[in-house]
Amino acid sequence: MAGNRDVILADFQACTDIDDVGEAILHLEGTNWDLLAAINNVMPQNTQQLPSELNRDVEMTEEIKHVPPRIASTETASLPHTRNSCSADNVEILPGTSNSRNIGKMLAGSSRLKDQLRILTFHVHYQNDTYHIDIPDTSTVGDLKLQIFNDVNVSPCQQELHGWRKEPKGDTNTLKSLELPKENELFMSPVSDIGDSSSQVMKLSERLANNYILEIRDEANNVTYKLNFLGTTTILEVKNNIYTLNDIPPRNQMWKGWPPTVKNDSITLAQSGISIPEHKLSVDRMPKKETKKEVVDLVDTDSSVEEQEDGEDFEDAPETFQVDDDIFIDHVQPTKIQHLIPDNVEDEVVGTMHFIEEYKKRYGSVHPNFFTGTFEDAIAESCSKPPRERKLLAVYLHHDNSILANVFCTQLLGFETVLQLLSANFVVWGWDCTYESNKQRFLTSIQQALGPSAAMTARNIEVDIMPVLMIIMRSRSNTDIFTIVFGNVGVNELLTNVIEAVDVFQEQRQNDIEFDDERQAREKVKEEQDQAYQESLAADRAKEEAKQLLEKIEKQKKEKAENERLAEQARKEAHRLAVESSLPPEPPQDAEGVLKVKIRLPSGQFLEHRFKSDAALQTILNFLIVKGYPTEDYKVISSWPRRDLTTVDTNQTLSELKFCPQETLIVEER
């Protein structure tokens, strides 16, 4: 068994060009040492087909005979077998995939094909035109150039043809010796266009600066796109752009129209040789492979007669040997593994705890420091912090149905530099999307936290490119997905993406810190201004309150004084009325003993009144009280001798006071 594995390992390395023995063994162990299955997993399976990989570049004929299967040797018993029949008229065209080409070469190398004349068709592209030339394969390259000369009027010596499947050594080579398919695409440029190296650089630089219009027919959705690209755009970038339009991942896209010189997706449009300024292409979805396995026997056509005889012997001896039926089993029940998160988990916190525990069991203790909590908590811990405390959020999405998971977890997430970067700059949150219920829970969480656009991005992640590392970054007040690192990358590409995210994050965080410092400074100034304003307002308010209090007191005083004045006035008026009622009437002028008193008031006016000589002085004072000149406010002065009558005994009569028949008195304010 060890010898068989050594042979399988050597064959696998020869077919896949994988020099790392450990990596090769890893692929073989994943398929239980099934050579073809391991090769199918490693080598591209009809994905991103370029024109050089289309069916027409491989044309093999196989003579098929219906013969009984022969007994396989011990070393090859695990390989599938086919029952072939041989017929000159029955020709089978095998698909042009990488595996079918390998098998086709094995069959074609041992087949006995009849020499026959083949007509080859060449589609020669020159100056945005295509010329179709039919020529026998017995003709030489020079003959082909002569026919091209007849069509495009460019002499054979000036013709430079590109796109050969096998580059001819000279014009004398026959087309048959180049092993060409029936349909061939060639691109021609005159030798004068090639020139020296400096002109080549100038020509390439001009093509890189050009704009290319690609008219792409989407056969899957029956839509035509007309897109503009720079010459520096790679073919992979074109495929990714189409992916955003038709939801067909690049690995599942089947293209037609690329020049044969295009060998991989890293070639730019300027280097691809497509037409300028416009080129037509078509894209379709790659048909799904049949999962049903067939028992195939690779029959060597050189020994067809011998195999017929072996077949007859085989029919006569059906019980001479026993074949282990296990080598024909299509599906082997895999060992049931414990997923990182159980189905229908109701609590994200419990789910993350289960995720971390199972991750350690499966991939070991060397892993990122996963955050325990909900997705919203992870965002709060990383992106919602102040700028100085803020970190990136790395969301690791796992899927057990992806063959990339083991390598990604052990070799990429376990790489020391990656772990250091994640520990220093990230909060890492993990989730397992193997179960649909858990995937929907994550989509709900990310939609609630980041919006429908981020949820749509996460929903469109294909299983075959998982696991992924989704890097989420906060810029100012917006939190969104910065980039997604898919599982089909190497350590260097992962490091490049992580370092780029960290660089952008550090720059943005510094800007946010400066912006936050400026905002805090503005807020501090505003707070100080508000505080000063409030203090000034309080002082003004206190001053106003004091002023109002003084005004109130003054008003109260005035009101009190006014009330007192009014009361005094009322008292005086009442006293005046009382005095007026008691005042005797003025005696007649011709009555005996009548004195005429003339009184000068403070206003300069005069009052005249007659009084009896026996009347008391109080009568004159009462008269003045009635006229509004009470004695407490006014003095009554006699002219001669000058004296204040209010200070003398008011009960004395006028005669006793020696009043003249015509007396003059003066009223003065006290």
pLDDT mean over 196-225: 73
Which of 246, 266, 285 is the last residue in one of the domains?
A: 285
Say if 619 falls within a structural domain: yes
pLDDT tens digit sequence for 255-304: 998 887 677 888 888 878 788 888 999 999 988 754 444 444 433 444 44
Which of 265, 285, 305 is the last residue in one of the domains?
A: 285
For residue 310, pLDDT beyond 50: no
pLDDT mean over 233-257: 88
Burial of 348 (0-12, 13-18, 19+ CB in 10 A): buried
- Give the Cβ contact number of residue 312 at 10 Å: 12
Range with top average pLDDT, 2-6, 92-96, 315-319, 374-378:
374-378
Residue 352's pLDDT is 93
pLDDT mean over 77-100: 36
Flag the least confident range among 157-171, 286-300, 394-408. Answer: 286-300
Same domain, 354 and 491: yes
Same domain, 488 and 362: yes
| DSSP reduced 3-state for 458 | helix
Task: Give the pLDDT band (50/70/90) at residue 175.
Answer: confident
Same domain, 430 and 488: yes
Give the residue, 277 or 196, on which the prediction is more confident.
277
Q: How far apart are CA 357 and CA 365, in angstroms?
A: 10
Q: How far apart are CA 551 and CA 447, in angstroms?
A: 66
Same domain, 449 and 411: yes
Q: Which residue has the tokens 């803020």?
A: 390
Range with top average pLDDT, 86-90, 552-556, 615-619:
552-556
Give the residue, 87 or 484, on which the prediction is more confident.
484
pLDDT mean over 645-653: 85
For residue 201, pLDDT beyond 50: no
Residue 324's pLDDT is 43
For residue 84, pLDDT beyond 60: no
pLDDT tens digit sequence for 542-579: 999 999 999 999 999 988 888 988 888 888 888 888 88
Residue 56's pLDDT is 39
The answer for 60, left when phi > 0, alpha when psi is -120 to 50, beta otherwise, is beta
pLDDT mean over 478-504: 91
Same domain, 170 and 215: no
Say if 435 falls within a structural domain: yes
Phi then psi for 258, rounded to 5 degrees? -75, 145
277: preceding bond cis by omega (within 30 degrees): yes
CATH of the domain at 440: 3.40.30.10
Give the residue, 128 or 394, on which the prediction is more confident.
394
Listed in sequence order, the residues at least 6 apart from 206 whose beta carbon sits closer than 8 Å to its beta carbon are none
State which residues form the domain around 476. Answer: 348-498
Residue 44's pLDDT is 55
Say if 297 falls within a structural domain: no
pLDDT mean over 10-16: 81
Same domain, 138 and 248: no
Q: How far apart are CA 421 and CA 418, in angstroms?
A: 5
pLDDT averaged over every residue in the chain: 78
Task: Give the pLDDT band (50/70/90) at residue 116.
Answer: low
Same domain, 491 and 356: yes
Beta strand 426-432 pairing with 392-398: parallel
Residue 336's pLDDT is 57
Quote the tokens at residue 137: 């394969």
Same domain, 147 and 237: no
Say if 136 falls within a structural domain: yes
Q: How far apart are CA 193 and CA 637, in angstroms?
A: 142
For residue 103, pLDDT beyond 70: no
Look at the chain and report how many structural domains it folds into: 5
pLDDT tens digit sequence for 348-369: 899 999 999 999 998 988 899 9
Same domain, 357 and 477: yes
Task: Give the pLDDT band (50/70/90) at residue 318.
Answer: very low
Which of 466, 498, 530 is the last residue in one of the domains?
A: 498
pLDDT mean over 418-431: 93
Task: Give the pLDDT band (50/70/90) at residue 374.
Answer: very high
Residue 429's pLDDT is 95
pLDDT mean over 233-238: 89
Distances (CA, A) of 63 to 75, 302, 485: 26, 10, 48
Quote the tokens at residue 67: 């013969």
Same domain, 174 and 226: no
String of DSSP letters for 127-139: TTEEEEEEEETTS
Phi then psi for 540, rounded to 5 degrees? -60, -40
Say if 65 falls within a structural domain: no
The alpha carbon of 181 is separated from its chain's Cα centroid by a whole number of angstroms, namely 48
pLDDT tens digit sequence for 22-71: 788 888 888 888 888 888 787 754 444 443 344 433 333 333 333 333 33
**Share of residues in the chain with pLDDT > 70 (%):** 79
Flag the least confident range among 139-148, 243-252, 255-264. Answer: 255-264
**What are the beta bridge partners of residue 484?**
470
pLDDT mean over 192-215: 60
CATH of the domain at 598: 3.10.20.90
Same domain, 372 and 467: yes
Listed in sequence order, the residues at least 6 apart from 99 whose beta carbon sits closer than 8 Å to its beta carbon are 36, 39, 40, 43, 45
Residue 224's pLDDT is 92
- H/E stretch holding 609: strand 606-612
For residue 416, pLDDT beyond 60: yes
Same domain, 211 and 168: no
Task: Give the pLDDT band (50/70/90) at residue 661.
Answer: confident
